[in-house]
């Protein structure tokens, strides 16, 4: 009898479906599973774990800030509120494309099919008031951000079915059916809010009241809209974790806001702040010949930038009927003389942008591969024919300022689109002159726009500039009340869900959407999903390049320029690790204050320059 029972049991075991074992908790997470740092690592390679704590750093902000609440659509956000005040479930490594390691969550669990992800809360994790962070706080954060937060959260997390606290220290996110490659890492980057705090505070309102948080800094002294100082949090619970060792070394981080770029630039040389990254080529090339630089008190460096440059562009509002005709969009590209602009205004410091993923191997720089063609073929006849033939290249000129050939091509396209010159103005089929308004929030771009506008006027297009304050600019952009704005679309090292934010039809009509231009194209939507669901980095590169071709050849924007470096200048009172993170300058993150250097500067003595310092302009 016992033998019979044993035989039946064995048969049942052989025929019963396999029950998947729970995945082992792991210390880190990445999109494709590759981690640089093993369990038990002591610190990131790009930090000095023995860096001294103390001192301060001041950086500039442009215009103003209207709120310390970084998670809602309303109000202009303070520059550093989110990264300095709020810990996330896991911390990103900035020398890897998309890896995260334990912070609020000590470990993470992900099954092979990625149908869910669970985070195990570190029992030491605390808010600044000493209260423990629990799974209930994480569930509250997720539900609140998805319901009342910035629209990007609804898009990024639309495929998360629900969040559940399976214990006081474990939160599990269940995914809807489908492939969800990026969701675990996107959730790893989730900031953690206090449920108890927001039980008493309206989450949906902008506020200058600092929210209860758990990050490395607290809000110190601030003047609303003008300046703010972050004070390193005493007894910060995570200061000795591997992901934080050697980081957040300044006692104080201050942001000083300036209404005008030129005023901010001059303030730097009178020691009103410490560090600036220079984005204006004219200033970098010609305006650093000043005593603090020539005397060695301020040093300049060109730091490598290994991140995708993305695209800075004139973004055309495709919701406006006039911009829906690709022939007008091409004509506008033909009228922009980038080569003259770069030579005359930028001292040759830039390169023309020809990709949404410029400065990376994600950019489509060669004719399409057979793998790309396989993705593109279903859309033949629905996307520009050029997609199948060659990489995108913007119209070029000889840089002389004479672009008659390009303007002749533009005229032919406009004529084909039904436009004609009447009384000196380019007039559409509706009998109305074609007018275009460039919306700006500062005047410095006028010197670049004015030559472009002159070329447009040679085509008969009545182009103008309107400058509004930052708050009004944001409101008009969020409500899509513009013809053209100038924006940079930043791209990550591992494209994924953010592409829906940038280019999907779903977001084209959502106020505050990052799909600023209003791209609404089924081919783009389908290729975005290929990017989001790519199962390997090779597959991701293929899908991203295919998407890049369709976006660029549709001429949704008139691209501008990029540089694959960071041009920085700073008062030489800081030190930094010998190795920098690959994908971030790491200034606030990894540098530290040097008291001896600061004292030398106070006495007008130049400290020893760092190895990469450029020679002072006065010595050239």
- Domains of the chain plus CATH, in order, are 42-259 (3.40.190.10), 311-396+404-562 (3.10.105.10)
Of 112, 28, 32, 29, the closest CA to residue 536 belongs to: 32
Identify the pLDDT of residue 21: 64
Q: Which residues contact 46 (CB under 8 A, 6 or more apart)?
A: 94, 95, 577, 579, 580, 581, 582, 586, 590
> What's the mean pLDDT in 542-550?
98
Beta bridge partner(s), residue 426: 421
Q: Which residues contact 426 (CB under 8 A, 6 or more apart)?
A: 414, 419, 420, 433, 434, 459, 460, 461, 462
Beta bridge partner(s), residue 102: 90
Of 475, 482, 516, the closest CA to residue 312 belongs to: 516
Contact present, 68 and 208 (Cβ < 8 Å) = yes
**Separation CA 227–CA 477 (nearest Å):** 25
φ and ψ at 543, to 5 degrees? -65, -40
Of 268, 273, 222, 215, the closest CA to residue 241 belongs to: 215
Return the residue matching tokens 């770069």.
Answer: 342
Query: Given its phi and psi angles, is residue 418 left (phi above 0), alpha (psi -120 to 50 degrees) or beta?
Result: left
Return the residue matching tokens 């005047």.
Answer: 443
Q: Coil, helix or strand for 505?
A: helix
Query: Given its phi and psi angles, is residue 55 left (phi above 0), alpha (psi -120 to 50 degrees) or beta?
Result: left
Q: How many helices (H) and strands (E) does the chain have?
A: 20, 25
> What's the mean pLDDT in 106-125?
96
Of 195, 445, 463, the closest CA to residue 328 belongs to: 463
**Separation CA 344–CA 521 (nearest Å):** 37
> How confident is the prediction for the chain on average, in pLDDT?
93
Q: Which residues contact 459 (CB under 8 A, 6 or more apart)?
A: 331, 335, 407, 410, 411, 414, 426
**Separation CA 580–CA 611 (nearest Å):** 13
Of 244, 213, 42, the closest CA to residue 126 belongs to: 213
Identify the pLDDT of residue 584: 92
> For 206-259, what is each residue's pLDDT tens digit?
999 999 999 999 999 999 999 999 999 989 999 999 999 999 999 999 999 998
> Would the pLDDT of 332 be above 60?
yes
Helix axes 404-416, 326-334, angle to 10 degrees: 170
> What's the mean pLDDT in 491-501?
93
> Would the pLDDT of 77 be above 60?
yes
Contact present, 577 and 303 (Cβ < 8 Å) = no
Query: Given its phi and psi angles, is residue 281 left (phi above 0), alpha (psi -120 to 50 degrees) or beta?
Result: alpha
Q: Dig out the tokens for 296 from the structure.
A: 């060695």
State pTM to two decimals: 0.84
> Would the pLDDT of 578 be above 60?
yes
Of 555, 566, 512, 63, the closest CA to residue 314 belongs to: 555
**Angle at alpha carbon of residue 505, lines to 504 and 508, rounded to 5°:** 95
> Would the pLDDT of 620 be above 70?
no
Of 300, 278, 380, the closest CA to residue 60 belongs to: 278
**Separation CA 206–CA 288 (nearest Å):** 39
> For 381-426, what is each residue's pLDDT tens digit?
999 999 999 999 999 999 999 999 999 999 999 999 999 999 889 9
Contact present, 530 and 341 (Cβ < 8 Å) = no
Q: Dig out the tokens for 584 from the structure.
A: 């971030």
**Separation CA 569–CA 581 (nearest Å):** 18
Of 463, 466, 544, the closest CA to residue 502 belongs to: 544
> What's the mean pLDDT in 173-185?
91
Beta bridge partner(s), residue 422: 425
> For 5-60, what is each residue's pLDDT tens digit?
334 333 333 333 444 567 999 999 999 988 999 999 999 999 999 999 999 999 99
Identify the pLDDT of residue 14: 38
**Separation CA 275–CA 566 (nearest Å):** 12
For residue 599, the tally of other CB atoms under 10 A from its CB is: 12
């Amino acid at each position: 009898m016992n033998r019979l029972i044993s035989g039946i049991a064995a048969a049942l075991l052989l025929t019963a479906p396999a029950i998947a074992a729970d995945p082992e908790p792991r210390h880190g997470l990445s999109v494709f599973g590759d981690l640089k740092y093993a369990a038990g690592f002591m610190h990131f390679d790009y930090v000095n774990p023995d860096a001294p704590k103390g001192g301060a750093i001041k950086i500039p902000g442009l215009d103003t800030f209207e709120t310390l609440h970084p998670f809602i659509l309303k109000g202009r956000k303070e520059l550093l509120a989110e990264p300095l005040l709020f810990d996330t479930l896991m911390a990103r490594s900035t020398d890897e494309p998309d890896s995260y390691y334990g912070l609020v969550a000590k470990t993470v669990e992900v099954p092979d099919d990625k149908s869910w992800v669970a985070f195990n809360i570190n029992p030491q994790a605390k808010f600044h008031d000493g209260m423990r962070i629990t799974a209930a706080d994480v569930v509250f954060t997720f539900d609140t951000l998805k319901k009342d937060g910035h629209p990007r959260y609804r898009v990024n997390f639309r495929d998360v079915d629900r969040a559940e606290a399976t214990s006081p220290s474990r939160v599990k996110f269940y995914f809807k059916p489908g492939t969800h490659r990026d969701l675990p890492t996107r959730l790893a980057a989730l900031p953690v809010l206090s449920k108890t705090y927001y039980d008493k505070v309206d989450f949906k309102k902008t506020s200058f009241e600092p929210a209860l948080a758990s990050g490395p800094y607290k809000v110190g002294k601030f003047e609303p809209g003008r300046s703010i100082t972050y004070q390193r949090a005493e007894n910060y619970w995570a200061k000795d974790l591997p992901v934080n060792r050697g980081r957040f070394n300044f006692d104080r981080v201050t942001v000083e806001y300036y209404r005008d770029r030129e005023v901010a630039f001059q303030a730097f040389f009178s020691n009103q702040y410490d560090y600036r990254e220079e984005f204006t080529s004219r200033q970098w090339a010609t305006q650093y010949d000043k005593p603090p630089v020539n005397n060695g008190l301020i040093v300049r460096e060109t730091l490598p930038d290994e991140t995708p440059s993305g695209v800075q562009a004139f973004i055309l509002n495709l919701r406006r009927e006039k911009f829906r005709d690709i022939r007008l969009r091409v004509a506008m590209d033909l009228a922009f003389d980038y080569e003259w602009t770069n030579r005359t205004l930028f001292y040759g410091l830039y390169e023309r942008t020809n990709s949404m993923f410029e400065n990376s191997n994600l950019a489509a720089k060669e004719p399409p591969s057979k793998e790309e063609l396989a993705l593109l073929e279903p859309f033949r006849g629905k996307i520009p024919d050029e997609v199948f033939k060659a990489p995108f290249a913007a119209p070029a000129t000889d840089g002389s300022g004479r672009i008659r050939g390009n303007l002749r091509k533009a005229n032919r396209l406009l004529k084909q689109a039904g436009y004609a010159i009447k009384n000196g103005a380019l007039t559409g089929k509706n009998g109305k002159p074609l007018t275009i308004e460039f919306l700006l929030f500062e005047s410095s771009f006028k010197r670049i726009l004015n030559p472009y506008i002159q070329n447009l006027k040679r085509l008969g297009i009545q182009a103008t500039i309107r400058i509004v304050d930052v708050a009004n600019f944001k409101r008009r952009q969020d409500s899509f009340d513009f013809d053209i704005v100038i924006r940079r679309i930043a791209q990550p090292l591992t494209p994924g869900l953010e592409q829906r934010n940038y280019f999907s039809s779903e977001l084209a009509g959502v106020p505050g959407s990052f799909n600023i231009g209003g791209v609404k194209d089924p081919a783009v939507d389908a290729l975005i999903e290929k990017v989001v669901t790519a199962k390997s980095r090779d597959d991701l590169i293929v899908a991203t390049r295919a998407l890049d071709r369709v976006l660029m050849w549709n001429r949704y924007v008139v691209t501008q320029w990029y540089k694959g470096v960071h041009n920085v200048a700073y008062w030489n009172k800081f030190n930094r690790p010998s190795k920098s993170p690959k994908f971030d300058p790491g200034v606030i993150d990894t540098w530290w204050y040097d008291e001896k250097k600061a004292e030398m500067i106070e006495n007008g003595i130049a400290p020893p320059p760092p190895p990469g310092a450029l020679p002072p302009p006065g010595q050239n």
